[in-house]
Structure 1
């Protein structure tokens, strides 16, 4: 939670301090407080040739992007979608609104087929009250407005954007961007939060593909031989998953797992009086391979060839 809150603050303040943004007015990017230019002005003025311009594009634009992407994919290949579960500002909105919507309707999403049990893994009651909609909907719209404004500051000078808003005099283009962004993000936050994470987010999808490509990557392992111990539980691990997955399932069915560890924590809580302990654990390496193999269906016996007498 602290990591998510800190990264959300970074997401909001990064343009203000020119840590990372592209300025459409100035025509160049900012990185860690310094101007970041592709260097094509020298090509336009004839100081460098086409080969030199190509080298600058590769060195100053493509290579940094590829390096950042390689780091993200490398982390995902070994540990899964850690960025999504522990840093992503969108996922922090997903978890916040899931909890509020559960209080308002008994379900973390409008698409959930059934209401969840009215208690937390530690036994605390979760009381459903429709008046929570009076908090949930305005907060979702508020998140959408903040996102729209912040995204705009990644493209225009932040002090210009915030100054216009404080004076209630945004430019026509700023107003169109903020209104359209708030409307679209409000719809997404209210109706398609985890669906976006599962099916539409390119950053999350590439992480999932890298993670699935490594059979020894870190994964939530389930002690299948102790499945009978789950009879005393109300599937708390399923109910707490923000992505609405089944944590005891095979890795292929957990393609979009964000490694948030809420299922592991829920299992530890519900099994705290069990001497054998939790049934869900983080596993990696050969243990991850064995965990997946435990779910593999038995192969049918090979048919023996019929011999003629």
Structure 2
């Protein structure tokens, strides 16, 4: 048996989410800047890599097989990874919508893009589906190269590290930053959708999460507003349970829905999608 209507968001919930994102952007920026100012080593500050959940995934093989961490990682990465997995089992990919500082930057860039272009560009389904597979291939490549090289192979190309380490002196970092901004402006959360390796991990595990976002077919009027407001490009109006592998639990679809009971956050089993005639498509 499921428990209905766990939460329906209000502007207050959205404000809390934005404050949460702002807090973690500020905290991450402080960590990156402090390392730049104080330096590393025993008398300095830990690098940004030490506070990265994905760093826990990257260093896990080395620690499990040799008892040693990759350079710039330590037990803190594994603790953060464990905490992230526990959160994942409760909320799905809620980390991405409420905590991830890189996700926050993408949201802000996407909002700026809407003002610049007057709209958010839609990726056609025939292109969107194969592109979503890229993050799994990217994850496999990163893990393979990390194990083969016994170091954080992805570090120079990671937009999270480039942005929050505040070291834009190399050609690689400038190119990474330019591409990240260029794609994030017209397409909401482009990195999250198609390339983020942590998002790939979350997609694999999040179907096991307790809380799921569900559409109630009897209450849905098929207006399509939920689909139009989903930053991850999910066709919410044609779902039963919103796909856990892609939903970041930002709750923007619920907030924008004109029917308060059409979308609910529940604890319980998934059910298959139920199609309705669309009046709007994204």
TM-score, normalised by the number of residues in structure 1: 0.55
Distance of 2:81 and 2:160 partners within structure 1: 26
* Alpha-carbon distance in structure 1 between the residues aligned to 2:43 and 2:81: 21
**Paired residue for 1:259, among 236, 249, 273?**
249
SS of aligned partner of 1:293: coil
SS at match of 1:99: helix
Question: Aligned residue for 1:220?
Answer: 213
Query: How far does residue 86 in structure 1 lie from its aligned partner after superposition?
Result: 0.8
Match of 2:98 in 1: 86
Structure with higher Rg: it is 1
Relative contact order (alpha carbons < 8 A, sep ≥ 6): 1 or 2 greater? 2
Runs of 4+ deviating beyond 6 Å: none
Per the alignment, residue 113 of structure 2 pairs with 101
2:177 counterpart residue number: 182
Give deviations 1:235-283, integer Å, cap 9, x for gaps: 211111111112341447452111001111112xx23xxxxx4311110
What is the CA RMSD across the aligned residues, in angstroms? 3.9
Tell me, in whole angstroms, the C-alpha distance in 2 between the residues paired with 1:279 and 1:254. 18
- The aligned residue for residue 81 of structure 2 is 69
Aligned residue-pair number: 206
Equivalent position SS for 1:257: coil
Secondary structure at 1:224's aligned position in 2?
coil
What's the secondary structure of 1:219's corresponding residue? strand
Structure 2 unaligned regions, length at least 5: 1-17, 51-65, 126-158, 276-282
Structure 1, gaps ≥5 residues long: 36-53, 114-144, 154-160, 162-173, 272-276, 298-309
Q: 1:293 maps to which residue? A: 271
CA distance in 1, matches of 2:39, 2:211: 35
Whether the aligned pair in 1 keeps the contact of 2:230 and 2:252 (CA below 8 Å) is: yes
CA shift in 2, pair 1:110/1:251, >3 Å? closer
Taking a change above 3 Å as real, the CA distance of residues 17 and 223 of structure 1, as seen in their structure-2 partners, is: same
Distance (Å, rounded) in 1 between the aligned partners of 2:107 and 2:69? 39
**Conservation of the 8 A alpha-carbon contact between 2:110 and 2:184:** no
Distance 1:294 1:15 in 2: 44
Conserved 8 A contact 2:226-2:253: yes
Greater mean alpha carbon deviation, residues 73-82 or residues 93-102: 93-102
Question: Is 1:200 the counterpart of 2:206 in the alignment?
Answer: no
Distance 1:96 1:152 in 2: 18
